[in-house]
Structure 1
Amino acid sequence: MREAGIPIKKVEPKKPSGSERALAYLTSWSKNPEEWKFQKTRQTWLLLHMYDKEKVPDKYFPILLDYLQGLQGNARDKTVQKAEAFMKEFDGSDGEDPDLLGKCERIRQVLQLLS
């Protein structure tokens, strides 16, 4: 085929998404702590998306709460500050949207854990 001038397409294996990698990181932390290694990018992804039920499904959220207990320093302080800011933002809303209610519940749990 190469001699005939027909380009050969290589099939690249599908790379895991950021979500898949972060959730695998969290699962590894929970189930294989002796093999687990801290990865700042995975932690950052989790902290940015932890209130989104599509990105961090409900079955992972209790594991994430356990993980957050060990959060230290600036990451812990910023997480609390962001959660408080989100809560103030949502206090002014009507409270009818089920997605918003789920997000508020997660925020409340995070604040309760870290405060």
Structure 2
Amino acid sequence: MHMFFTFIYPLFKCLLFQETDEEDLTPEERRKLERKLKKERKKEEKKLMREAGIPTKKEEPKKLSGSELALAYLTSWSKNPEEWKFQKTRQTWLLLHMYDKEKVPDEYFTILLDYLQGLQGKARDTTVQKAEALMKELDGSDAEDPSMVEKSERIRQVLQLLS
């Protein structure tokens, strides 16, 4: 493929410049022409790769979701304390979603409770305030929805730990 461009591209460029006299081109026109040539070259390159059966799309690495990143952060805190590094965004995600059993499964929630023991300052105060507010809200509702029962149990555990 490289051989193709070493022969064809200079010919293509010569033909293109023959049509428009190079001295008559302004710097802006010359840049436009070079961009056009580059675009044509890439197009031809993709065509040749498709014909050869080589995929032309670049494989992008799978991006992890906020949930996956936060749970990995928690696991790292638990299993690799010397390698672990504090990340405010991960902690914030965990504090916002810790009562949701689907986002923070039970096996991670027990680790999260251990993590919360080290919570300090404003994060600790805010977590307690939000937990108390949520508990009042849940106590006020008479719903016996199983997910609400699980949520209230988690809130109780957090309040018991931090109060």
Place the TM-score, normalised by the shorter chain, in its bin: over 0.9
Name the SS for the 1:91 alignment partner. helix
Structure exhibiting the larger radius of gyration computed from Cα positions: 2
Deviation at 1:47, TM superposition (A): 0.3
**Any stretches of 5+ residues in structure 2 without a counterpart?**
1-41, 51-55
TM-score by length of 1: 0.94
1:19 is aligned to 2:60: no
Deviation at 1:12, TM superposition (A): 1.1
Q: Which has the higher contact order (CA 8 A, sep 6+)?
A: 1
Tell me what 1:31 maps to: 79
TM-score by length of 2: 0.67
| Distance in 1, Cα, partners of 2:60 & 2:127 | 37
| Distance in 2, Cα, partners of 1:34 & 1:94 | 46
Deviation at 1:95, TM superposition (A): 3.7
Deviation at 1:9, TM superposition (A): 2.5
**Any stretches of 5+ residues in structure 1 without a counterpart?**
none
Name the SS for the 2:43 alignment partner. coil
Cα shift readout 1:46-71 (whole Å, capped 9, x = no counterpart): 00000000100011011000000000
- Name which of structure 1's ranges 68-77 and 88-97 shifts more when overlaid on structure 2: 88-97
Deviation at 1:93, TM superposition (A): 1.3
1:2 is aligned to 2:50: no
Where do 4+ consecutive residues of structure 1 move more than 6 Å? none
1:113 is aligned to 2:154: no
